[in-house]
Amino acid sequence: MNHRLKILCGLLIVTALGASYSVNTRFTGQVAQTTSMTDEWQTCLNMDITGDGMINTDDELQLRAGMQDPNIPKLCQSASGDAFNTCQKLDANKDGRVNTSDVLVIRSYTQDADTLKICRENPTDAFAQCRFMDVTGDGVLTSLDEITIRSYIENTTAQKICAYVSDPATKAKCQSYDLDKNGYINELDTATLRTYVTTPNTLRICRATSSSSSSSIPSKCINPFSTDLMTDLNYQIDSRINDIQASATTYNVWEKREATTIGWKRSKTVWTARGEKPLDLTGISPWNSQGTFRQAGTLISPRHIVFADHYQIAIGKQIGFVDKDNNFVTRTLVAKQKVPGSDGMVGLLDSDVPSSIAYYPIISEEDMYAYFKPLQPGMIVPSLTKILMFNQKDRAIVSELFQIGADKAIYAPYRITMNNLDGSQSIKYGPAPKMIRPMMHFDSFETPIITGDSGDSVFLVINNRLALLSTHHSPSSGPLYGGLIDEINQIMKDMGAGYQVTKFDLSCFTKY
């Protein structure tokens, strides 16, 4: 499997436009990387014994029938003409023979959820068409896509003629709903969507990653809960924790974790698995062969990680990741370089992680200033701006972003719990600017950062996706990676592998 692009296919049952239908394919990856689809496509063609463009049990049945046909040669080099071509077609494993090995190869391929099952049309075109129909931007065609368009149509203040829209973000949204490409948003667009999803064998899952595959990097910014970034940030966390209590079952990422690479199991009850879409934590390394659960690293590309300079992982050590299906993946650290002027360290792995492992985009410091609401006195960001961070116990911690600037992120500094006379509790911050506020529900998901947590990651949660903010340097701060993108990109360029930082797209949010 190509690690930068994986095409996953399987028989899924999903609900779209109010009806159940069968999904025969599942594509993942970035459309631009067409060369990595070629081998997948050719393998699919090799398995397509019937020649109908689909891989299913019919191919095994036809192969078995061919094996029993005395007129079909079983050793291809002994045949010629049409007989040779028929033998070649039945030779699924391409060893020059037609035998039970070919049956086993096809059966294994058919049952493997990670293999391509439809090879009838160009994969790039199919993926692009599915992405165009995906108006919610969640990578799956469901009833939500039609509901989104209908809501837009019924909104009397929404502009229905895209050419008349001057604001770039609003115009882009209008155009994304114009599925029949006639310049107008009306019932023809919902009809176009219905026709697409009811046509047999059209692609209906087209995430930049799939449900069992990686990258949380969005191809476009569309339909957030709120176009105010701060509102969306808080909603992403509040909506997941407001109706539950903090406990080991709701804040521990792992139901089972081990000191070795065997036996890991993700929790299904942790709060990050709740909400409209579970947050993808697969790019956060929970284990390495040096510090076991300590000295964490976080992927910023399929090949590059960031971790703490003052708590480094040594060259040659194994770094582990666990995908959504609890498969453990290890890579070796082969190079590392300090990010100038910070506690950040960029590491290079010996090879790309598979596409079942996520890597995370970064919001530039310029975009933070542009999209965060006007500053409050003495603070760079408004109070109660919630963030997600982790520690050596792999606890999903809720904290507050307090200040950004000078290439540093400060979160919930010097928190002190105060007991009030009426029996309630308050939170006090210090040393400056001092602030006191009432204890709130999310505070129960807070845990102090201690020795051994250095290098664990800090994220902004935006529209069901993660944007890497920092890694722990002190109990309340770390490098602001959004202010260090140029430096990180230079290091990545010097290291090789062909990757650069991916900037998180905020174009669907309001600038201030």
413 has pLDDT over 60: no
Does the pLDDT of residue 56 top 60, yes or no?
Answer: yes
**CA dist., res. 449 & res. 308, Å (int):** 14
Phi, psi of 22 (to 5 degrees): -95, 135
Instruction: Choose among 368, 399, 377, 344: nearest CA to 509.
Output: 368
- Mean pLDDT calculated for residue range 282-311: 93
In DSSP terms, which residues pair with 252 in a beta bridge?
A: 395
Report the distance separating Cα 458 and Cα 347, nearest Å.
Answer: 18
CA 453 – CA 474 distance, rounded (Å): 9
Q: How far is CA 177 from CA 148, 149, 273, in A?
A: 9, 6, 29
pLDDT tier at 468, thresholds 50, 70, 90: very high
What's the gap between Cα 489 and its chain centre? Answer: 21
DSSP 423-448: S-EEEEE-SSS-EEEE--GGGGG---
The C-alpha atoms of residue 136 and residue 149 are separated, in whole angstroms, by 9
Q: How far apart are CA 492 and CA 346, in angstroms?
A: 8
Place of tokens 């107008």: 184
**pLDDT value for 304:** 95
Query: What is the reported pLDDT for 207?
Result: 55
pTM, two decimal places? 0.58
How would you class 413 by CB atoms within 10 Å of its CB: exposed for 0-12, middle for 13-18, buried for 19 or more?
A: middle
Tokens of residue 351, six digits:
């090879």
Q: Look at residue 38 and give its three-state secondary structure.
A: helix
Contact indicator for 203, 27 with CB cutoff of 8 Å: yes
Pick left, alpha or beta for residue 282 (phi over 0 → left; psi -120 to 50 → alpha; otherwise beta). Answer: alpha
Residue that is written with structure tokens 């994304």 in the block: 176
For the segment 477-499, the average pLDDT, to the nearest whole number, is 89
d(CA 266, CA 252) in angstroms, rounded, equals 9
- Single-letter amino acid code for the residue at 151: S
Q: What is the mean pLDDT of residues 376-387?
A: 64
Torsion of Cα atoms, 143 then 8 then 508 then 484, to 10° = 160
- Are the CB atoms for 403 and 368 separated by under 8 Å? no
Token readout for 146 is: 């039609």
> What is the Cα–Cα distance from 504 to 512, expressed in whole angstroms?
18
Tell me the pLDDT of the chain averaged across its residues.
Answer: 79
C-beta of residue 205 within 8 angstroms of C-beta of residue 23: yes
Q: Burial of 28 by CB count in 10 Å (0-12 exposed, 13-18 middle, 19+ buried)? A: buried
4: pLDDT confidence band, cut at 50, 70 and 90?
Answer: very low
Residue found under tokens 């993946």: 329
- φ, ψ for residue 75 (rounded to 5)? -120, 105
Q: What are 121-168's pLDDT values in tens digits?
A: 555 566 667 777 888 776 678 888 888 898 889 888 888 888 888 876
Q: Which range (206-210, 313-317, 338-342, 393-397) has the least confidence?
A: 206-210
Q: Helices 143-154 and 168-177 sit at what angle, rounded to 10 degrees?
A: 120
**Average pLDDT rounded to a whole number, residues 335-349:** 93
Chain segment 93-125, per-residue pLDDT in tens? 888 889 988 889 888 888 876 676 766 655 556
What is the SS3 assignment for 379?
Answer: coil
The mean pLDDT value for 18-44 works out to: 39
The string of pLDDT tens digits covering residues 188-210 is: 999 989 888 887 666 676 654 33
pLDDT band at 279 (very low <50, low <70, confident <90, very high): very high
Beta bridge pairs of residue 462: 465
> CA torsion sign, 467 to 473 to 474 to 477?
negative
- Topology of 128-198 in CATH? Type 1 dockerin domain (1.10.1330)
Q: Which of 408, 298, 436, 442 is nearest to 359 (CA)?
A: 298
Reported as a pLDDT band with limits 50, 70 and 90, residue 434 is low
Burial of 248 (0-12, 13-18, 19+ CB in 10 A): exposed
Q: Side chain identity at 200, as an amino acid letter?
A: P
pLDDT of residue 273: 93
Domain boundaries, the chain: 12-111, 128-198, 362-483
